[in-house]
Structure 1
Amino acid sequence: MTTTGEDHAAARPGPWWWDRWRSAVLDASLALASVVECGAEGYRFAGDAGIPSAAGIVFGVLAGSALLVRRKWPIAVVLVSIAITPAQMGYLMAIVGLYTLAASELPRRIIGSLAGMSLVGQLIVMFVRIRQGTTRGGWELGDWFVPFAAITIAVGLTAPPLLLGLYVGARRRLMESLRERADSLERELQLLAERAEERAEWARGEERTRIAREMHDVVAHRVSLMVVHAAALQAVARKDPEKAVKNAALVGDMGRQALTELREMLGVLRSGEGVRSVRSSDSVPLAAVGFAAAAAASRAVDESDGPCLSELEELIGQSAATGMVVDLTIDGDARDYGADIEQTAYRVVQEALTNVHKHAAGAKTHVRLAHRVSEIAMQVENEPPPEVSTASARLPSGGNGLVGMKERVVALGGVFVSGPTDAGGFRVSAVIPAA
């Protein structure tokens, strides 16, 4: 973190109102020099005014010591220097006081007013002093010399410390502003890094959910059909050997298809070059690894050869092979959709048929697909299951089928509705925008 002035002061405190010991030593040295100057000038002033020399020296010492508080009360220091200007003392105090005043955070109108008062005081004193000097010395000079010299000296004693103080104050404020901006930028960078980490964690969670949903859709349907065929095979093994052989062949085909799809998906996931390239560099932040992993997982799912609507009849044929009565109705002219739309529509029908196998084995099922102008709609509705069915297969249910279907449809901006029918069956409906 960048250290600001306040942090630095807190880290190295100085005495009283000073931020650092170095500043205190500097002010004490300036005050000592001012005390010596004002004491000497007070001695001379006492001789000219006809007062005791000790009184003049004490007055000069007290006045010069005011420079010690120039950082805390710069206005008081300038006012003291103006007050002792008629006594022709405190030149160092006036110069340092004006510099400190101009470099402070006081309003410009106050700085300008006090600087003007100091200039006028110095001008009057210099005019009188130079005129007296020329008169005593008997110098023959023009009328222009005295005001010219007075103005030059007064401006020379007032303008340089004032301008230097204004410059130093502006530079100090600029540096403080830059420090604050650097601190602010560093805090923003830390906040962005934290948010990036949160987004990476969220992305990893989303991709885990998506991959789990994809695995569920690939495995659940075919394994459910395998279980149904195995139950049917057990029931007809002795009564109808020919049908038992046919069911056994179907179980084998289903198992091989499920393994093939699993190998394809896992193979694409393992070949995610983005994850390996990011993990190979130890200097990359964890957030970048998370984003790369999520992106690789997303590409793995998207690039895998997913199902499409042209395979819908084959899907329904597989269910019909188990003894389920399935009617397919297609309305409208078929057209090409995006890969994600066709995969989602296929998975909705697939999962709905899987649920029929699980919860309403043997029930007659109606599958309706409608190609509309700007959307594609699908509906899978099953009638109540018969009393005697293959429910003895005892297919397990994780309760994620409907949730996964809804997530898929909603992700594409569609609408998903599911629920029991009045006749005692179950209906799954989905509408997905075509674009």
Structure 2
Amino acid sequence: MHAFTGERGYGHGPGGWWRGGPFGPPGAAVPWRSSLGVAVVQLVGTGFAAHRQPGRTDLGPGLYALLLAGPALLLLRHRHPRLTVLGTSAVALGYLAAGGPAGPVFLSVVVACVAAVAAGQRVAAWCAVGGLWAGWLLIAHWLYRWLPPPGDRAAGWGQEVAVAAWAAAVLAAAELVRVRRERWARERAERAAAVQRRADEERLRIARELHDVLAHSISVINVQAGVGLALLDQDPEQARTALTTIKAASKEALGEVRQVLDTLRASGAAPRQPAPGLDRLPELTEQAAGAGLAVEVATDGVRAALPPGTDLAAFRIVQEALTNIVRHSGSRTARVRLSYAPDELELRVDDDGPATSDDTADGATGGGNGLVGMRERAAALGGTVEAGPRPDGGFRVHARIPLKVTPAATALPAPPAANEETP
């Protein structure tokens, strides 16, 4: 009896068959096309090889059944990879024991082995190939005396090196497929995570924008509505002024909300209006004045043009700080200081307090996100926001934003204390 290589021709490898993609994940559709292709190759290839091997057992119903049994088992390789690789190895070993002509009978074993390793059944694949090799050694060097064809002789031990190399090549190909599938799966997961992360970041950005716009404008409207109700009978002119402020604040809020929503309706379209920045600080102080809060603005250093993201973040931080004062402080005066440095913008918003006690009556429950939004905006640009009571009384918001944008901090900002939150 002869080895896999040489006369019997069992060393003919898959020849790139596995690159056709017949190894799907468990639970995939039945791979009948690739299994049919394996059956055709085994039948036709073995038929041609039989004409050149007159000393071997003639192909009959039994050998044809073994040649078809391997491809039939391949139909199960996606759902039962372990059973398939063990079964095809047993079928190939039976073909060897029957003394059939040399040919591509091991193609089924190769396909099943690669599919099993790719599906994570590495132990089963290694055991199947190792068992087939051990069986071949028994048949080629001992059992050949009692197996067909009559008069066969033992195979040379030197040929077993080629057999071992063939088995190692099959297992190496299977491991290569497994590594590539794992890499592709990891890349798909990373891409999906990146898409989800961008969606989450965009959702948080829109939530912050809406919060900052609505919290400020509605706070002004709330204060002016109270003034208008109190003075409606006593001072109609002052009540008219309050209503005018309400109208202006609501109009501006509607415009900014519409701008945010337009970016959602038309994906990829540029905003119709530029994002607000510190150049709109006079409008912000005017609105605060309409709510009864006098704002003093001071600037240190040479004012320079800011990157759009930094300009927007600085404006929103000042806006949110003034909104906090209007809603939660008894002070009617606020001080805003902007300090420009070559590499940093520093913001400081102070009020003298004290904190009001009517937050609950106004609907504030202490569960707001105002200071959380400030910290997130600053952290996204590599900056920080500190907020809390001053030692001499009152409240201070202190922000530092680098002008050279750095990667966002990986950790989320610490949650604010209950007395720092805005609704």
Q: Report TM bin, short chain.
A: 0.5 to 0.7
1:306 aligned residue: 275
Which one of the candidate residues 90, 102, 126 is aligned to 1:20? 90
Q: Where does 1:114-133 land on structure 2 (aligned, <5 Å)? A: none
Task: Find the partner of 2:153 among 74, 89, 93.
Answer: 93
Q: Please tell me whether the aligned partners of residues 406 and 416 of structure 1 are also in contact (alpha carbons under 8 angstroms).
A: yes
Q: Which runs of 5+ in 2 are unaligned?
A: 1-22, 25-73, 101-131, 405-423
Deviating more after overlay: 71-80 vs 209-218: 71-80
Query: Which protein, 1 or 2, shows the higher relative CO under an 8 Å CA cutoff with sep ≥ 6?
Result: 2
Please state if 1:74 is matched with 2:144.
no
Q: Give the counterpart of 1:242 among 213, 217, 237.
A: 237
* Alignment partners' CA distance in 2, 1:372 and 1:356: 27
Rounded Cα–Cα distance in structure 1 between residues aligned with 2:206 and 2:287: 24
- Structure 1 gaps, min length 5: 31-68, 85-89, 106-168, 273-295
Return the alpha-carbon distance in structure 1 between the equivalents of residues 82 and 236 of structure 2: 94
Counterpart among 83, 89, 101 of residue 10 in structure 1: 83
Instruction: Please identify runs of 4+ aligned residues in structure 1 that moved more than 4 A.
Output: 75-81, 389-393
Counterpart secondary structure, 1:104: helix
Q: Within the alignment, does 1:338 sit opposite 2:281 as a pair? A: no
Query: Does the aligned pair in 1 maintain the 2:93–2:136 contact within 8 Å?
Result: no
How far off its partner does 1:333 sit? 1.5
Q: What's the offset of the Cα at 1:91? A: 9.3
Which residue identity lines up with residue 91 of structure 2 in the other structure?
A: W
Cα distance in 1, alignment partners of residues 207 and 245 from structure 2: 26
Residue 267 of structure 1 is matched in structure 2 by 262
Equivalent AA in structure 2 for residue 27 of structure 1:
A
Alignment TM-score, normalising by the size of structure 1:
0.60
Per mean C-alpha deviation after superposition, the further-off stretch among 255-264 and 343-352 is 255-264
Root mean square deviation of aligned Cα: 3.5
* Cα 1:196–1:80 shift into 2, 3 Å: closer
Alpha-carbon distance change, 220 to 20 in structure 1, aligned in 2, over 3 angstroms: same
| C-alpha deviation, 1:373, in angstroms | 1.6
Q: Is the contact made by 1:326 and 1:365 (CA closer than 8 Å) also made in structure 2?
A: yes
Q: Secondary structure at the match of 2:282?
A: helix
CA distance in 2, matches of 1:380, 1:318: 16
Task: Determine if contact 1:74/1:97 at 8 Å carries over to the other structure.
Answer: no
Deviation sequence 1:290-349 (CA, Å, 0-9, x none) = xxxxxx5xx76x785211111112211210222212211111111111111110000000
Q: What is the rounded CA distance, in whole Å, between the counterparts of 1:80 and 1:226 in structure 2?
A: 98
Counterpart residue number, 2:351: 382
**Partners in 2 of 1:365 and 1:419 — Cα distance?**
15
Which structure is larger by alpha-carbon Rg, 1 or 2?
A: 1
- The 5 A counterparts of 1:6-405 are 10-11=83-84, 13=86, 19-29=89-99, 71-72=134-135, 74=137, 92-94=152-154, 96-98=155-157, 100-105=159-164, 169-170=165-166, 172-272=167-267, 296=268, 305-385=274-354, 394=362, 396=364, 398-405=367-374
- Aligned partners of 1:328 and 1:366 also within 8 Å: yes
In structure 2, the CA distance between the partners of 1:216 and 1:8, relative to structure 1 (3 Å rule), is closer
- Residue by residue over 1:127-156, the C-alpha shift from the partner in whole angstroms, topping out at 9 and shown as x without a partner, is xxxxxxxxxxxxxxxxxxxxxxxxxxxxxx
Alpha carbons of structure 1 residues 338 and 21: separation in structure 2 relative to 1, 3 Å: same
Alignment-derived partner of residue 423 in structure 1: 392
**Aligned residue identity for 1:198:** A
How far 1:80 moved relative to its partner?
Answer: 11
Structure 2 residue identity aligned to 1:93: R
8 Å CA contact retained: 1:364, 1:382: yes
Could you tell me which amino acid in structure 2 is paired with residue 418 of structure 1? A
Change (3 A) 1:9 1:331: closer
SS in 2 for 1:399: coil
Q: How many residues align?
A: 295
Taking the aligned partners of 1:243 and 1:324, their CA distance within structure 2 comes to 16
User: Per residue, is there more helix in 1 or in 2?
Assistant: 1
Aligned to 2:48: none
Measure the CA separation in 1 of the matches of 2:229 and 2:290. Answer: 16
Instruction: Verify the 8 A CA contact 1:332 1:372 in the aligned structure 2.
Output: yes
Distance 1:8 1:324 in 2: 74
SS in 2 for 1:368: strand
Scaled by the length of structure 2, the TM-score of the pair is: 0.61
